[in-house]
Amino acid sequence: MSQIAPTGLGRFVAVFIFLAVIFVGIPDVNAQQPEVSPVTDTGHWWDDAVCYEVFVRSFADSNGDGIGDLNGLTSRLDYLNDGNPATSRDLGVTCIWLMPIFTATSYHGYDVEDYYDIESDYGTSADFTIFLSAAHERGIRVVLDLVLNHTSVKNPWFQSALSDPASPYRDWYIFSEDDPGYPGPWGEDVWHESSVADEFYYGIFWEGMPDLNYRNPEVTAEAEKISRFWLDQGVDGFRLDAIKHLIEDGSTQENTDATHEWLRGYRQFLDREYPEALTIGEIFNAGATSLEPYFPDQLHTYFQFDIASQMLIAPQQGVASGITYVVNEAHEKQPGQPWGIFLTNHDQNRTMTLLEGNVAEAKLAAAALLTLPGIPFIYYGEEIGMTGSKPDERIRTPMQWWVGGGHGFSSVTPWQPFQSDADFVNVFSQEGDPDSLLNYYRALVQLHSDHPALGHGEFLEIDTNASSVLAFIRATDEETILVIINFGGESRSDLKLTFPSGSLMAGEYRLVSLFGEGNAVPLTLTDATTETDFEPGFTFEGQTAYIFSIER
């Protein structure tokens, strides 16, 4: 993909008419650098990845049953990344996280019946092999959602354990003759009455999802067997669902010492046998302090929910301080930036709904997502501003590809109705608009891929004289990037940046614009041991992001 700046898409527009004719008829959418301080050690594929979360059921239907499937996803891969750096119509992501694709009881897949087979709604194992190969050909890594905490009540393991006290699977789950009586972390019932015997079984989420017993080594051995099965096929890693609830200690049902110990062992198993397999954990509502016990020797990374919420609050309130606080706290407690960042995911009201349809605010959130430290994750449809609010089915609605009919998702009525704005919010409507949210995302993802400093570079906050402005440096030994985001609605012609001592070596620098229109004056640092005030000398428009390369 060639770089597209949101303000310089003339070439794209010039060829759009030709591309649109094709699109309508086809349902598929397809210098010398300053010296810097030491940076984070890297060496894994995920250091510079941009990931995209896909709910297969809602992405593309290939067989006309109203349900998205693996073949449909394969047909849309060129939209995500066509594998050709010379093109610019793809989003450019380098990693896909698939929500559960195993045989399951519910539509969402988080109650697994068979960890070794593909959900029949989505296709076959052969379809998955074709998808995986096509993704890898395009340079896209594939991460599977692996639900280890619990199974479905219809899983054969649980059915055997429930019906036969002598079953070899009996100790794979947690049973009690009496109801222990304590509730779950959010006040829910966690002990459920058996349907076949006078006893209770434990399930933290609901009665349809009994928890596995990881105090039993056989269950751990099975988890490793499942992991091997998929990694041996070429899968690139796992997102581990609800991982903080893995092992309970009586009424303490999250973040237990036993959970930490299990995760250390699982990480050692992967490091030994599959050192390039990414693991990212879901620890819902976990900030830097509650994530701290998980580092550095358990999973590779965890989702950072505090940073996520602040990236949405900042554009809404026009104040940058919340972001700097949570990022600095995370950076202090987990050096090396081992976290995943996102705006919203499949469990939360969608970004554009939370931002009440404000595209300018959505662009600012995207700019923060794709420049701040961490592995960025984009929820499918977020790049076009899809809306959706709970219940869960309505935040997981079908992808909106084009105008009218089945909106490019299916030839029949889909499993869930589209959002009411689907005729206006879709990929086709934004393809040729240089100012669209989609093309804004494309430009930022491309920039993230072109500049490793935005992926794994060191983070350094830059003080400003404006509460609405977030400014920071991302730096590697090869490049230094300056990011300035004005979350406020007012323009600033008097912006002053204060570079901390030691942030750059003394010398003359120029700021080369990479994103956003800005021609800054030269930067001179006469003494690297003191703070240096710098006035860029141009007007920073309200609700606008600017990205510069700082060059000697």
Domain-embedded: residue 1: no
Domain-embedded: residue 144: yes
Q: How does strand 507-515 pair with strand 544-551?
A: antiparallel
Q: Model confidence over 368-389: pLDDT tens digits?
A: 999 999 999 999 999 999 999 9
Q: Model confidence over 294-324: pLDDT tens digits?
A: 999 999 999 999 999 999 999 999 999 999 9
Q: Work out the average pLDDT over 57-61.
A: 98
CATH number of the domain enclosing 523: 2.60.40.1180
Whether 440 and 506 share a structural domain: no
- pLDDT of 275: 96
As a 3-state breakdown, the chain gives helix, strand, coil percent values, each rounded to 5, of: 30, 20, 50
Which of 53, 90, 241, 461 is an active site residue?
241
Which of 282, 361, 431, 461 is an active site residue?
282
Whether 169 and 287 share a structural domain: no
Whether 291 and 428 share a structural domain: yes
pTM of the entire predicted model: 0.91
- pLDDT of 37: 30
- pLDDT of 479: 96
Tokens of 280: 């990212």
CATH number of the domain enclosing 379: 3.20.20.80
Domain-embedded: residue 187: yes
Confirm whether 450 is a catalytic residue.
no
Q: In which residue are the tokens 């804004």 written?
A: 440
Confirm whether 282 is a catalytic residue.
yes
Domain-embedded: residue 354: yes
- pLDDT of 474: 96
Whether 237 and 115 share a structural domain: yes
Whether 166 and 223 share a structural domain: no
Q: Model confidence over 211-242: pLDDT tens digits?
A: 999 999 999 999 999 999 999 999 999 999 99
Task: State the helix-helix crossing angle for 217-231 and 257-273, rounded to 10 degrees.
Answer: 40
Residue pair 138/83 in contact by the 8 Å Cβ criterion = yes
Whether 230 and 374 share a structural domain: yes
Q: Model confidence over 383-442: pLDDT tens digits?
A: 999 999 999 999 999 999 999 999 999 999 999 999 999 999 999 999 999 999 999 999
Whether 112 and 142 share a structural domain: yes
Domain-embedded: residue 2: no
Whether 448 and 470 share a structural domain: no
- pLDDT of 174: 98
Q: Among 456, 483, 509, where does a domain finish?
A: 456
Q: Which of 129, 120, 24, 137 is nearest to 65 (CA)?
A: 120
User: Distance between CA 459 and CA 328 in Å, rounded?
Assistant: 9
- pLDDT of 347: 96
Tokens of 451: 């500049």
Whether 357 and 435 share a structural domain: yes
DSSP annotation string for 129-171? HHHHHHHHHTT-EEEEEE--SB--TTSHHHHHHHH-TT-TTGG
Domain-embedded: residue 437: yes
Q: How does strand 175-176 pair with strand 200-202?
A: antiparallel
| Three-state SS at 461 | strand
Whether 278 and 301 share a structural domain: yes
Domain-embedded: residue 496: yes
**Distance from the first to the final alpha carbon of the chain:** 27
Domain-embedded: residue 279: yes
pLDDT band at 476 (very low <50, low <70, confident <90, very high): very high
CATH number of the domain enclosing 162: 3.90.400.10
User: Distance between CA 48 and CA 451 in Å, rounded?
Assistant: 9
Q: Among 437, 456, 475, where does a domain finish?
A: 456
User: How many structural domains is the chain composed of?
Assistant: 3
**Averaged pLDDT of the chain:** 91
Q: Among 456, 480, 498, where does a domain finish?
A: 456
| Three-state SS at 50 | coil
Whether 197 and 346 share a structural domain: no
DSSP annotation string for 232-298? TTT--EEEETTGGGSS-BTTB-SS-HHHHHHHHHHHHHHHHH-TT-EEEE--TT--HHHHGGGTTTS
Q: Is the pLDDT of residue 191 over 70?
A: yes
Whether 35 and 121 share a structural domain: yes
Q: Is the pLDDT of residue 27 over 80?
A: no
Q: Domain range holding 194?
A: 156-202
